[in-house]
Amino acid sequence: AQTVTQSQPEMSVQEAETVTLSCTYDTSESDYYLFWYKQPPSRQMILVIRQEAYKQQNATENRFSVNFQKAAKSFSLKISDSQLGDAAMYFCAYRSPLSGTYKYIFGTGTRLKVLA
């Protein structure tokens, strides 16, 4: 069974600095999808970025980028020029692409604090 591990329960970053949140996963599949979701205090989960495992290029979305290391089964999220609004819980998630398989496996989350 697939598992997702986020080993950093909490991280802090100074405003305008860069922070990296780590995520590792375990799977025997060669093709899959990885996601980072943000959950601010409002509880609304928001998709930050997604990565298809068959793509070698790391996904980027504005200030957010990932470092996808398929062999190491690592999927870290880098936030550049951190802003106060980035403070939230961040969840890493895995999804199999197999037809009929629809479950997302979530990590336990990393709470990011942004210091002014």
| Binding of residue 62 to other proteins (CB under 8 A) | no
| Near other proteins by CB under 8 A: residue from 30, 42, 56, 57 | 42
C-alpha 98/C-alpha 19 separation (Å) is 33
Min CB(54)–other proteins separation in Å: 11
C-alpha 70/C-alpha 78 separation (Å) is 17
> Which part of the chain contacts other proteins (CB under 8 A), choosing from 22-30, 35-43, 57-65, 79-87?
35-43
| Near other proteins by CB under 8 A: residue from 73, 91, 112, 114 | 91
The DSSP annotation for 56-97 comes to -SPPEETTEEEEEETTTTEEEEEE-S--GGG-EEEEEEEE--
Chain centre distance of CA 111? 12
Binding site for other proteins (CB under 8 A): 4, 33, 37, 42-47, 50, 52, 91, 95, 97, 99-104, 106-109
